[in-house]
A = this chain, B = another copy of it.
């Protein structure tokens, strides 16, 4: 139903917080308190962001998380892809051959939906974490296909 998951919501909130505060280390516990998020869920989310190199961590006491790159270089799309997987508006647009729609229909939708999906992706690729923090939204050019 055209919705981002809670994982993405948590991820953006946490990363946005880290991007807009001066300290350099943030524990999961601190972030979950500060943002009123479930500790367990946030911790699990952070680990996925780590694996995708969007966030780095220091283990042990005095450990915590920090952004792996400047906020301006982290696209919303990076976070979404990491936590929700590549968006696929419908199966027919999937790269996965098992979901290939050619078999089920003459796939009248494939091309049009692919173009629409491209536009949606452009929005998330065209918006960085920095833009979110700064409430700075640039014009997004959606090309004519």
Contacts and interface: CB of A to CB of B under 8 A. Distances in A.
Chain A: interface residue count, which band? 35 or more
A55 interface: no
Copies per complex? Answer: 2
A22 to B, nearest CB: 16
Interface in A1-15: 1-5, 8-9, 12-13
Contacts of A88: 3
A96 interface: no
A96 to B, nearest CB: 13
A70 interface: no
Q: Which 9 A-B pairs have the closest CB atoms?
A: A2-B87, A1-B84, A112-B132, A9-B90, A140-B142, A36-B104, A4-B89, A119-B123, A139-B144
